[in-house]
Amino acid sequence: LAKTTQPISMDSYEGQEVNITCSHNNIATNDYITWYQQFPSQGPRFIIQGYKTKVTNEVASLFIPADRKSSTLSLPRVSLSDTAVYYCLVGDVRDDKIIFGKGTRLHILP
Amino acid sequence: GAGVSQSPSNKVTEKGKDVELRCDPISGHTALYWYRQSLGQGLEFLIYFQGNSAPDKSGLPSDRFSAERTGGSVSTLTIQRTQQEDSAVYLCASSSPGQGTYNEQFFGPGTRLTVL
């Protein structure tokens, strides 16, 4: 399982774009990159997944450079409700088991 | 049901007692996971099931912890002789590997365990 490294915490302001970068230097060929979001007192929920280049959905964008050794989750125009912990996970599509790290605690300020 | 459910939502017990935590996964999901989360910490993997078998029990903290899954559905996590350090939120998730988004896990609301 590829190890991931992401910032422990980040602060930003309402209306700003927030970018959270995750490093995964030993990512393998079959690994996908997945991000989860966890609000206080709730379980994590899936927000986006990608393999290479760029993926966008209604919640976020995920940018993955050609070497795939890092990825950046981009949240456009954040609001106070985006305050949460964001987890970056890397794993093989054939694996059932994935590992959550400590995540990035994002705090949005008014 | 529509999502993963867990019971009880809260459990307060005395040190040394046994507790059972229950997880009902999404119908049809073959994989089931247990995690533990201490206050302000990330998720700690405990065990996962594929069907009724547990290929990986490496995350169980001690032999006081055990889990089973019957009928490929409901799972029970049992903690014997609870200790204060067992206090945490226990989260269950289920997934259906190989279908659609790779291994997306759907989480339940968790059981908050407090050992006095």
* Per-residue confidence (pLDDT) for residue A41, from 0 to 100: 85
C-beta atoms of A96 and B97 within 8 A: yes
Q: Any chain A CB within 8 A of the CB of B42?
A: yes
Q: Any chain A CB within 8 A of the CB of B91?
A: yes
Alpha carbon distance A93, B93 (integer Å):
17
- Of residues B110 and B104, more confidence is placed in B110
Q: Any chain A CB within 8 A of the CB of B101?
A: yes
Q: Which residue of A has its CA nearest to B104?
A: A46
Is the Cβ–Cβ distance between B2 and B25 less than 8 Å? no
b/e code B70-92 from CB counts within 10 Å (16+ = b): eebbebebebeebeeebbbbbbb
Please write the tens of the pLDDT for every residue from A21-60: 999 999 988 889 999 999 988 999 999 999 999 999 999 9
Question: Which of B21, B96, B103 to mutate: most A Cβ within 10 Å?
Answer: B103
Facing residue for A45 by CB, picked from B45, B101, B107: B107
Collapsing DSSP states into helix, strand and coil, what is residue B21? strand
C-beta atoms of A96 and B50 within 8 A: yes
Q: What are phi and psi of A52, to 5 degrees?
A: -155, 170
* Per-residue confidence (pLDDT) for residue B100, from 0 to 100: 55
Please write the tens of the pLDDT for every residue from A69-105: 999 999 999 999 999 999 999 887 666 667 777 899 9
Question: Which of B34, B35, B43, B60 to mutate: most A Cβ within 10 Å?
Answer: B43
